[in-house]
Structures are given as structure tokens and as C-alpha cells.
Amino acid sequence: MSIQNEYLNGLMERVVKRDPAEPEFHQAVREVLTSLAPVANARPELIREGVMDCLVEPERTIKFRVPWEDDKGNIHVNRGFRVQFNSAIGPYKGGLRFHPSVNESIIKFLGFEQTFKNSLTGLPIGGGKGGSDFDPKGKSDAEVMRFCQSFMNELFKYIGPDTDVPAGDIGVGAREIGYLFGQYKRLSNEFTGVLTGKGLTYGGSLARKEATGYGLCYLADCLLKDGGKGFEGSTVVISGSGNVAIYACEKATQLGGKVVAMSDSNGYVYDKDGIDLPLIQQIKEIERGRIKEYAQRKAGAEYHEGCVNIWNVPCDIALPCATQNELPLEGAKALIQNGCFAVVEGANMPSTPDAMDALQEAGVLFAPSKAANAGGVAVSALEMSQNSMRFSWTFQEVDDRLKTIMTDLYHNAAQAAERFGMAGNLVAGANIAGFLKVADSMLAYGLV
């Protein structure tokens, strides 16, 4: 679909021309500008006052060298990033990703998406993202610790509890956050809520670990109910087996669904009896192993090479929870053919644009990541609140708040789509609702 506003079309061209080697960033911007065309048509001052131009340019990009020593004494040099995208409604907030695929385009697309997602939560958090092309896979704890300390030696200059609050993402979990927080604390001589996703003994929030996966299912539940469906009695396929996928599996099962497949970057497992989640957790969270071990240990389960083939597994509900562009057009076609009635995105931007179009055209209930996976960052914001108060809420209190946030978020996005003549289009609704709060704040500040 083209962008139905001449100015935004030109802006898109300028974005591509300015940074031609950033396809993921272009993809994220194109989707948002397409949704925003009716808003820009109705409110020309957004263009006149420079809001649209500022929106697609990060406030600041920090790029740095991260040298570290492995266990054999060899020196490695990785690249670190922090893109502070937009602080109109609060301190920059967003995860750190450690994965060999990380580059400026990936971090920019994630930071851009985060701006809208964070706004959608209704909480006062701006958008940012960071990470490194460091691969934690196969590294010892000591190597990961030395890397994290070196990464923080540089990053600490740019972050702070009221400036920029990083968290986890792919490759950054409780272990990494612990090393990063410890180093920040040492360098700054301050104990503050500068990172979220912390351990429970040093300022972490109950339910933060579960939040993205649980929130995903709470939002899916709203979407399914509106479509006359539900998790009860449905077959669910979840790609990925990291933090998002694991807790999506737990909640989808609690809500009455049967999860029959999960994956990692090498392949997927199919278990017709329903995934044994404690076994997945043992393999992935404790042993840091590969998913194929599940089939070796669980009678009746099958392992298939090639993660993208997971979409050929017949299901009612698909929850892509692995990574960007993991659900291509062929996958979407297979889901549609097999009667899948809902796709709810747990990873960031997991569907390619043509897959997203095909699913929506076929009438599949569809919730985009910036709405559906906002539960993680929402509970991160609740962790910040608890840290500021030097107080902590119970699991139940945080979980209740999360449920309310996801329900409100769903209705706000659905209403925004309706208001701009795109009823039922949650992609447009999420982009518009997330945008308006940020844009009105930017307008209030004038050109800064």
C-alpha cells in the first residue's frame, strides 16, 4: 500500500536516501507513515511544525567500541549502540539486544517502534534501543560478564534513571542485566532504577519476567473476544523459545489453549500432546541449550530443521515470538490455508509487510507487535515507579495492572482506527494512537 499523503511520501523517500543501507528501519517507518496519512491530512500543522520530520530522525545515536578479553586471553572488539529516539513523553526507554545480526538499521527500527509502543502503554516513557553485535551463545559466564562491564564502561555516560533506562531484549536477560547494573552502580556510586528487568533481590519487579508473554495473551484475549473467538479449545503455535515465547506459552495454556509447537533459530519442535513447558524451561532457561533436545527427551515429540517451517503446523492462533521478519508471505499463506484465525505478534516486527497484508486481507484477526508486546515495557515502567518509591508491589498487583494496561491499550488502538475510518485495522490504530500522544507533546514544546 502506498502512503496516501504527498508530503509523507516525499519524507519516506528522504529517509531512504539519507540512510540507504537500513532496510529494517525503512520497513518500520513506511508502515507507520502509511497509517499516519489520514492523520496528517486532517492535521496539516503536524507537517508544518516539523513533527513528522523530527519523528523519523533519532534525537541521538551513540555508537561505540566494546573491547573484551575471552577466557583464553584473546582480545575481541564488538560494536555497541544506543539510539535515543524520542524523549517527548518521558526518559528514553527500551531494551538492549546482543545478537550477531545487530547493526544500526536494526537498532533504529527497534527504537522507532519503541517510541509508539511506549506511548501506547499510557505510561510516561520515551523510546530508545541499544545493543551490540556480540553473540552470547557459547560464551562462558565470565566472558559475558567482561563484555557487559566493558559495554557499560561506555554506556554509563549516556544513561540515568531520569534520562535513559535500558532493559533486556534478545540475548539480554537476568544474567546480563545483573552484570550491567553492577557495573553502572560501581561507576556512578548510585543505587537507582537505571535498568529494568533487574533481579528480585536488587530492585527488580515481580512479574517483569512474565510480562511480555502474559501481556501478549491478555491483548490476544481481547482481540479474540471481539472476533467471537477465544483461547479455550484452540491450537496454538508459538515461534521462539526465549523469554517472550515461554511466558506466552504459559499464559495461553492457562487460558485454555493447547500449544503444539515452539522453535529456535535452527528448527522447531512439534508435540501433539501439548508442549511440556517445564521441560522447555529446563532446556532453554537453565541449560541454555537448543530446542532439538526437547524431542530427544519427550516421547512423541518431533524435531524439524528450519524454523520458518513452523508456520506449516496447522493452528488456530499463531504467536510469532522470535525475531523480526520471521513470518514471511509463504508462512502467512500456510497459516491462512490451515484455517488460522488469529496472529498476535510477540516479537518486534515479526511479519514481513506482504505477510501482514495477506493476513489482514484474508480476515485473520491481527495484532501488531507495538500493541501486542507492550506488556514487557509496561511492567518495566512499573519497575521504575516501584524503584522511585523504594517500594514493591506483589505479583498480583503488578499482574492486575498489566491486565488493565493491555485491555486499555487494545481499546485505545481499536478506537483510534475507527476514528480515522479504518475500523478493525489494529495496525493503523496502534500507530495512530501511539503517535498522537507523542506528536501533541512535540507540538507543545515547539521546535527543539
Q: Does 386 bind ligand GLU (CB under 6 A)?
A: no
What is the DSSP code string of 49-108?
TTHHHHHTS-SEEEEEEEEEE-TTS-EEEEEEEEEEEE-SSSSEEEEEEE-TT--HHHHH
Residues paired with 169 in a beta bridge:
172
Nearer to ligand GLU, 80 or 95 (CB): 95
Pairwise CA distance, residues 174 & 191, whole Å? 17
* Strands 365-367, 267-270: pairing kind: unpaired
Number of Cβ within 10 Å of residue 173's Cβ equals 18
Only segment of 295-303, 375-383, 390-398, 420-428 that touches ligand GLU (CB under 6 A):
375-383
HEC-encoded secondary structure of 337-361: HCCCCEEECCCCCCECHHHHHHHHH
Nearer to ligand GLU, 242 or 267 (CB): 242
Q: Does 371 bind ligand GLU (CB under 6 A)?
A: no
CB of 377 to ligand GLU, least distance (A): 4
Only segment of 91-99, 134-142, 325-333, 403-411 that touches ligand GLU (CB under 6 A):
91-99
What is the DSSP code string of 364-427?
-EEE-HHHHTHHHHHHHHHHHHHHHHT----HHHHHHHHHHHHHHHHHHHHHHHHHTT-TT-HH
Q: Does 93 bind ligand GLU (CB under 6 A)?
A: yes
Judged by CB under 6 A, which of 88, 222, 377, 442 binds ligand GLU? 377
Annotated catalytic sites, by residue? Answer: 129
Q: Does 380 bind ligand GLU (CB under 6 A)?
A: yes
Q: Does 169 bind ligand GLU (CB under 6 A)?
A: yes
The count of chain residues that interact with ligand GLU, using the rule CB under 6 A, is 10
Residue type present at position 400: D
- Residue of 425, 415, 409 lying closest to 116 (CA atoms): 409
Chain positions 131 to 160 lying near ligand GLU, rule: CB under 6 A, are none
CB of 167 to ligand GLU, least distance (A): 3
Nearer to ligand GLU, 260 or 374 (CB): 374
Ranked by CB distance to ligand GLU, the top (closest) residue is 95
CB of 330 to ligand GLU, least distance (A): 26
Q: Does 221 bind ligand GLU (CB under 6 A)?
A: no
Judged by CB under 6 A, which of 58, 80, 90, 95 binds ligand GLU? 95
Judged by CB under 6 A, which of 196, 323, 387, 425 binds ligand GLU? 196
Judged by CB under 6 A, which of 80, 111, 173, 376 binds ligand GLU? 376
From the number of C-beta atoms within 10 Å of its C-beta (0-12, 13-18, 19+), residue 192 rates as: middle
Residue type present at position 438: V
Query: What does the binding site for ligand GLU look like in residue numbers (CB under 6 A)?
Result: 93-95, 167, 169, 196, 348, 376-377, 380
